[in-house]
Structure 1
Amino acid sequence: MARKLDRVLIADNHEVLRAGMRSIIGSQASWHIVGEATSGQDAISVARDASPDITILDCFMPDINAIQLITHLRNEFPHMEMIIYTARKCDGIVADAYGLGVKGFVLKQDPALKLCEALNSVSLRRNYFSDQFAVDFIDRVVSGKHDSFGILSSRERQVVQLVSEGKINEQVAVCLNISKKTVETHRASAMRKLELKTTADLVRYAIRNSITVN
């Protein structure tokens, strides 16, 4: 018989929210919190040390975009389940996250019971969408809608996020450890694919599609 999935990692950069999750999860004898992380890189490091079965992730970590983090965790920990637990629906992220194998999607404003239900479902390797996520996801599938963010390469997505957060090309280059010229190339390519003309257009696009919280 397979071992029950009960080891949980919480990854959220807000202490008050982590405390709330600790309270919710700690009230259930079925789960054991094995680590907490305050950033994307921290989540990767803690996962290596703690070997969680399930990681609960906010969409908006301060140092790495959600899809990049999910991709890294999926590659390094292929058997670990993930739950997106966020204050905003992250419409531009949900389909990609689901495609990468994320099984749980819960809004922070949902009743605490929803997070417990999500943990129960993903521990059985089953999908879980809280009500609003379910409505939106089904609508997107039925209507055939696909977010245009999905046409960008991983590096283009990183550049778009960092630019939309107010970083200039030189700062983006430092963050990603690439040249300024490479940043300019990725930025131009992303704007061409998204049919955007100005940086202001790019910022509005990022906010509209929940790529940044600015």
Structure 2
Amino acid sequence: MTYLTESALHKGIKIVIADDHRVVLEGFIARLEREPDIKVVATASNGVEAIEMVKVHQPDVVLMDVSMPIMNGIEATEVLAKEYAEARVLMLTMHDNREYIMKVMQSGAVGYMLKEISAEKMVQAIKTVHQGSTYFCESTTQTLFSQQIEASQPTANPLSRREESVLRLVAQGGSSKKIAQLLNISYRTVETHRQNIKHKLDLHSTAELAKYAFEHGLTK
């Protein structure tokens, strides 16, 4: 694990990066150090270290590799979602398949991107999840769409048209503030819709809402 200098702790979005490949870590740091409003405050090489770094530094966003020794990224994210929910986890992986994406969404992560993502898109992803939205890279979204289960029997939709509209925008990464602007309703009304949707669908996180929307074709 690495603690960065105290100068990295001033204004900006605080980042912890967890990856067991040193070259990858250095590459991510190099990408982000050019951003004046993003500060990498610590790194970790496994899930256990990642949790410790989050506990010590209280970052805004965690870039978490999926495959790591001792404790993998999905296991670490499950712990963070329960104990340090304010740290928004963006999962980094080389895997672009439905099984991995579903596991990540269930773990409590709020974003999923491939390690080959451009520096520009990485910065966009960090800022998006920091603002309270979800982020899934384009190829991930395409994978979810192309592999939707079409053979399942349709079930009654418990959501109203307005709730469907809110859910669709949530799945697209919209924050409550942004959704309120797009639908021309109040922020409080959006929050009420979100809570009603969670209650009706028995879901508990934004990632689960996005998963439901993808699987039921509500993102088109």
Decide whether the 8 Å contact of 1:5 with 1:54 is kept in 2.
no
Report if aligned partners of 2:19, 2:68 keep a CA contact under 8 Å in 1.
Answer: yes
- Corresponding residue for 1:61? 68
Q: In the alignment, is the contact (CA less than 8 A) between 1:67 and 1:93 conserved in 2?
A: no
CA deviation profile, 1:133-167 (whole Å, cap 9, x unmatched): 1111233446479xxxxxxxxxxxxxxxxxxxxxx
> 2:21 aligned to 14, 22, 36, which one?
14
Contact kept? 2:47, 2:69, Cα under 8 Å? yes
**Residue in structure 2 matched with residue 36 of structure 1 by the alignment:** 43
The residue aligned with 2:116 is 109
Offset of residue 115 of structure 1:
0.8
Contact persistence 2:46–2:73 (CA under 8 A): no
- Cα deviation, 1:54-103, whole Å, max 9, x if unaligned, reads 10011101112333211111111012101011222253231132234322
Matches within 5 A, 1:123-142: 123-141=130-148
Calculate the TM-score normalised by the size of structure 2: 0.59
Secondary structure, aligned partner of 2:30: helix
Structure 1: distance between partners of 2:107 and 2:14:
21
CA RMSD of aligned residues (A): 2.1
Match of 2:91 among 59, 73, 84: 84
Contact 1:5 1:123 in 2 (8 A): no
Change (3 A) 1:44 1:103: same
Q: Which 5+ residue runs of structure 2 have no aligned equivalent?
A: 1-10, 153-220
Within 1, Cα distance between the matches of 2:103 and 2:12? 24
Q: Does 23-32 or 108-117 show the bigger shift? A: 108-117
- For 1:55 and 1:119, the matched residues in 2 are separated by 9
| Residues 148-167 of structure 1 mapped to structure 2, 5 A cutoff | none
Percent identity of equivalent pairs: 23
Q: TM-score, normalized by length of structure 1? A: 0.61
Q: Does the aligned pair in 2 maintain the 1:59–1:90 contact within 8 Å?
A: no
2:116 match: secondary structure: coil
SS at match of 2:23: helix
Structure-2 change in CA distance of 1:144 and 1:122 (3 Å): farther
Cα displacement (A) at 1:110: 2.3
For the residue of structure 1 that corresponds to 2:109, the secondary structure is coil
- Corresponding pairs, count: 142
5+ residue gaps, structure 1 = 146-214
Q: In structure 2, do the counterparts of structure 1 residues 138 and 40 end up closer, same or farther at CA, with 3 Å as the change threshold?
A: same
Aligned residues of 1:104 and 1:129 also touching (Cα < 8 A): yes
